[in-house]
Amino acid sequence: MLWTSSETTMPIYSRSGYEITPLTEKQLKPLLAELDSEPIRITQKAGTEQPFCGTLLDNKKSGFYSCVVCGLPLFSSQHKFTSGTGWPSFFSPFAPEHVKSKIDTKFDMNRTEIVCARCDAHLGHVFEDGPKPTGKRFCLNSISLHFIEDGEEIPTQSKPVETETAYFAGGCFWGIEHWFQKGMGVINVESGYMQGETKDPTYKEVCTGKSGHAETAKVTFDPKVIAFETLLKAFFKMHDPTQVDRQGPDIGSQYRSGVWTTSDEQAKIVEAYIKELTESNEYDVPIATQIESAKTFYLAEEGHQDYIETTGRACHVTNPWE
């Protein structure tokens, strides 16, 4: 990476695993110094190249299109279509968080400008006349993009961050998911089911207690920013690890406390921490948290993802970051 986030700034990630923390003026300066005058005019002064002249207009190769300034992947060849407008067109971005929009009222028009989420480079505009499934047409300047063909070496600035995964079960997954998402260095959190025998279980099946699964939060994180041990300590602050097959008002084996480890190292860290808590008499009764090697993670239904963020409802889980 050509830059690093400030230690005092919480890094921002897309759910695809790319860091999209806005670049500072100091970080942006050497990147702009590598560009010629025309890319500067387009990306920094919101210019527009002439129609039917862009080098990427008729590109049919498979790959992705990154920002010519900072290298963030912006669009995929899978979403490219021929619009007949004279500019490369896409019906969807590489990842929703990689592109930002703003109102553009220049030339007495009311349009929606799109820019790179990481460096704010001007890309083009988005219109509501595209094909299904989005109905959108992202109309771009070729010169704002750099195409990387499948199989070609990917530059460091266009790669996702290296991540690790942890699985935690501590009662209803809504609250566990919600508070893990607030952790610095956490990239994505998904709600799902683990450690049971039923394949592709539904929420209704898990609620019967017969599937063997526990409601689980899958936490994808950047180990360079946050350690597994930090997540583990936050997990123990979130819930009551002494309760057996329940958490708060929720009762049943699907609400059991557990850490499903992905490596021997994770298992050792969990065992050592539980031993530390036990020997320090942190709790009046034994810790009931189970430690097992992670089995298959089954993603829960869409309605359970980002539940608290979407509904605004509260949960029994405590904020561990205060």
Which residues are part of the catalytic machinery?
A: 139, 172
Beta bridge partner(s), residue 90: 80, 138
Cα–Cα distances (Å) from 161 to 101, 157, 187, 222, 248, in that order, read: 24, 10, 9, 7, 36
Contacts of residue 43, defined as CB under 8 A and 6 or more positions apart, other chains included, come to 35, 68, 69, 121, 122, 123, 143, 144
**CB of 135 within 8 A of CB of 113?**
no
What is the helix (H) or strand (E) element at residue 146, kind and residue range?
strand 145-149
Both structure tokens of 100: 């930002």
Cα 198 to Cα 213: distance, rounded to the nearest angstrom? 8
